[in-house]
Amino acid sequence: MNERPSHHDTSPLISVRDLHVSFKTDDGLVEAVRGLSFDLGRGETLGIVGESGSGKSVTNLALMGLIPRPPGRIDRGQALFHGEDLLRMSPTQLMGVRGRRIGMIFQDPMTALNPLMTVGQQLTEMTQKHLALSAAAADARAAEMLELVGISNPGQRLRDYPHQFSGGMRQRVMIAMALSCEPDVLIADEPTTALDVTIQAQILDLLRDLQARRGTSIILITHDLGVVAEICHRVLVMYAGRVVEQSGVNELFASPRHPYTLGLLRSLPRLDRDHSRRLEAIPGQPPDMTRIPTGCAFRPRCGVAIGRCESESPPLREIGPGRFSACWHDDAARVAPSSAAPADGSDGPGGSS
Amino acid sequence: MTPTPILEVRNLKVHFPFSRGGFFRPQRGVIRAVDDISFRIAEGETLSLVGESGCGKSTTARAIVGLVKPTSGDVLLQGTRVSGLSDREMRPHRRVVQMVFQDPFASLNPRMTIGSIIGEPLAIHALARGRDLKLEVLRLLNLVGLNPRFLNRYPHEFSGGQRQRIGIARALAVQPKLILCDEPVSALDVSIQAQIINLLMDLQQQLGLSYLFIAHDLAIVRQIATRVGVMYLGRIVELAPAAEIYARPVHPYTEALMSAVPIPDPVESAKRRRIVLQGEVPSPDREYPGCAFAERCPLVQDRCRRDRPELIRIGAADTTTLAAGTPTNVKADTSTGGAACWVRAPQRDESAK
């Protein structure tokens, strides 16, 4: 796991090892993240993909020190950032990191913006606090940031309140805020999910462009494989709190190795493909996280499961340069028999009934 | 004479009056949610309305079933005008058209068992009672791929995909001809979306259903739709058979919309020519004398801002105006489709109107 398949500086910027996060709920203990390890390289865009309950957003919250405790708990693990463990920082230390060195973008900008403050006040608050800029310098910087994210007439717009911006513009404001202290890392949790496709295209262009110009590392959390294909360099595919596949983006899409990744890609309707064929759905339901299946969590939905998958959980193993998969099947041919998706239906085990 | 369509919408307008601003500076106006649209749906076909948020696609569906009152225009079910009917007069027609909603968590009554949720429409329309009703509910459960043992369970025990199946079973209970599906899979996990799309397509085959399928995901629409109508600011800007519109989009908005959809394949996605539109969808609270898309259109000409283009049949020698003016002015069958653009689909002079 130490190898870095990247074209950049070799030491990782963030290094997460064996992260375990759980929540106490009325239905029992939910192990939301079960032993997650990954590195984020400099100037890299790392995609974390998964469906609801995969643990992708909880991972983000854990890194940011935003897990509500209780009911949440970080049971184990470390997340090194410049040699310091994000998971063990005091609230005061975290304040110095969040916003300053790690910027955040959320799905819904209205939850991150204060409706009672103008956009200018919010942007200058950050830079005055973190960078100790004078009021005048902070104003100039705020206008510069709005311009950077493509908001026209920035001097004027600084005096506006968040509700005076449209959804796409608010997302830009949030990106401007996240970038205003020139963080090393940007964590974007479903940054375009609430946006229309034409606006999504604008925001993805913006992120790509900002990264090219500033070399910011990005962790992009999403359920949308199309977005991943557009801007990520490397991808972690999560299922039931674990990474099931980790790979460079081109290899992942060209030859997915985990049956879950393969199933996801096959189930997607595509604009650029023949649509007369029936979609190959993954049968069953995502697991109920209070009752995660024994062994491999994907087994009940897997078309190539064998006896061992039920008794033993497959570890994430290196299967090629920079490629990891958590599946007992070693060779790609067995995982991907020409078109072996079983018939769909909703009665698969693992449903929440 | 072509057979009577299941649904015909003629010159439908839904305008919402609003007043805003303070006591001292009141502003009044109308939101033109749906602004003069016409289309037909034939037996066994799927017409999909696509477009970004606020384009009027959901309002159109709501106007068809009478959940909102049309400002003007007609809705005809199997040739009978139903817009403007009272609730009582509408009741027999309600069996013809049913609706499946986006959020399977909000649209099922949490206090009713699955059996009573699906059986309720049968009882209301006096289609079955007692043992027959139960047998019918079991048949419906089976039809949508749910296990009959779920009969006495409650909605919260089910996952999103299973709930959507329950919603579909309820819609099917009264044996409708047409189902309006409003974003039926957008709230579901990626791996479950394909299951539901396959189910809808299977049911269409078995039962000869027609669908009005409202969605923003163009890849899913390509999979399921026979014809596609692209909406922008309350108007249909292009209407064409699915195969045609995806292969050769005519309206510049359709073209931009399609090019903005991320393709889950980094190699393909890098090859693609993307049209990133500037700006955002303008507010529907003002009237646009010309083309609604003019403000963002890369091909805009003077005329586009001045005169409103009508849907014009593309390709054929006959360029009859489609869906212009009042019902008496409907000069051609709108189901043939066309595009509303002065540049790409040059139209006849004003005198042709």
**Each residue of A264-300: pLDDT tens digit?**
999 998 887 766 678 889 998 888 888 899 999 999 9
Distance CA A66, CA A72 (A): 10
β-strand partners of B230: B50, B238
Distance CA B87, CA A93 (A): 63
Residue whose pair of structure tokens reads 């192990």 in the numeric block? A31
In contact, B292 and B233? CB cutoff 8 Å: yes
Question: Which residues, 6+ apart, have CB-to-CB distance to B325 below 8 Å?
Answer: B11, B353
Peptide bond into B252 cis (omega under 30): no
CA angle B332, B333, B338 (to 5 degrees): 85
Which of A196, A202, A281 lies closest to B276 in CB terms? Answer: A202
Contact check, Cβ <8 Å, A201/B197: no
For the record, the structure tokens of B213 come out as 């399928």
Which of B193, B258, B263 lies closest to A229 in CB terms? Answer: B263
Residue A293 three-state SS: coil
Q: Which residues of B touch A200 (CB under 8 A)?
A: 260, 262
Contact check, Cβ <8 Å, A201/B274: yes
Strands, sheet with A234-239, edge to edge from the N-terminal-most edge strand = A102-105, A185-189, A217-222, A45-49, A234-239, A242-248, A323-325, A317-320
In contact, B230 and B257? CB cutoff 8 Å: yes
pLDDT per residue of chain A (353 residues) written in tens, 0 to 9: 433 444 445 789 999 999 999 999 888 899 999 999 999 999 999 999 998 889 999 999 999 888 988 899 999 999 999 889 999 999 899 888 988 899 998 888 777 889 999 999 999 988 898 888 899 999 999 998 888 888 888 888 999 999 888 877 888 898 888 888 888 999 999 888 878 888 888 888 888 888 888 889 999 999 999 999 999 999 999 999 999 999 999 999 999 999 999 999 999 988 877 666 788 899 988 888 888 999 999 999 999 999 899 999 999 999 999 899 999 987 655 665 544 444 444 443 333 33
Contact check, Cβ <8 Å, A199/B280: yes
Distance CA A242, CA A20 (A): 10
In contact, A235 and A49? CB cutoff 8 Å: yes
Contact check, Cβ <8 Å, A270/B153: no
Give Cα separations from B25 to A165, B22, B30, B108, B287 (angstroms): 21, 5, 17, 42, 21
Q: Which residues of A touch B257 (CB under 8 A)?
A: 197-198
CA B54 to chain A, closest CA, distance in angstroms equals 10
CA B282 to chain A, closest CA, distance in angstroms equals 10
For the record, the structure tokens of B337 come out as 């489709």
- Whole-number pLDDT of residue B336: 58
- Whole-number pLDDT of residue B2: 65
Which secondary structure element, helix H or strand E, spans residue A68, and what is its range? none
φ, ψ of residue A48 in degrees (nearest 5): -115, 115
Residue to substitute from A205, A271, A298, interface B, most B β-carbons within 10 A: A271
Distance CA A292, CA A298 (A): 9
Residue to substitute from B147, B159, B271, interface A, most A β-carbons within 10 A: B159
Distance CA B48, CA B223 (A): 11
pTM beyond 0.90: the answer is: no
Q: Does A277 touch chain B (CB under 8 A)?
A: no
Give Cα separations from A273 to A207, B174, B254, B264, B268 (angstroms): 27, 36, 18, 11, 11
CB-defined contacts A:B, below 8 A: 160
Q: Does A96 touch chain B (CB under 8 A)?
A: no
Q: Does A351 touch chain B (CB under 8 A)?
A: yes
- The series of mean pLDDT values per 10 residues for chain B, 353 residues long, is 85 88 76 92 95 89 91 93 84 89 85 94 90 94 92 90 94 95 90 93 95 93 94 93 90 92 88 81 81 90 90 53 32 61 69 40
For the record, the structure tokens of B320 come out as 């009859």
Residue whose pair of structure tokens reads 């015909």 in the numeric block? B8
In contact, B8 and B83? CB cutoff 8 Å: no
For the record, the structure tokens of A350 come out as 């693992």
Distance CA A19, CA A297 (A): 18
For the record, the structure tokens of B250 come out as 């005519």
Q: Check residue B38 and report its DSSP letter.
A: E
- Whole-number pLDDT of residue A256: 93
Q: Which residues of A touch B159 (CB under 8 A)?
A: 285-286, 351-352
Amino acid at site A342: P
In contact, A169 and A24? CB cutoff 8 Å: no
CA B267 to chain A, closest CA, distance in angstroms equals 7
Contact check, Cβ <8 Å, A201/B277: yes
Contact check, Cβ <8 Å, A197/B192: no
CA A297 to chain B, closest CA, distance in angstroms equals 15
In contact, B37 and B15? CB cutoff 8 Å: no
φ, ψ of residue A327 in degrees (nearest 5): -150, 140
Residue to substitute from B151, B191, B255, interface A, most A β-carbons within 10 A: B191
Residue to substitute from A54, A231, A273, A344, interface B, most B β-carbons within 10 A: A344
Contact check, Cβ <8 Å, B159/A285: yes
CA A258 to chain B, closest CA, distance in angstroms equals 14
Distance CA B14, CA B37 (A): 10
Q: Does A94 touch chain B (CB under 8 A)?
A: no
CA B153 to chain A, closest CA, distance in angstroms equals 9
Closest CA to A230 of A269, A203, A264: A203
- Whole-number pLDDT of residue B235: 93
In contact, A78 and A127? CB cutoff 8 Å: no
Strand segments (E) across A53-124: 72-81, 84-85, 102-105
- Whole-number pLDDT of residue A11: 84
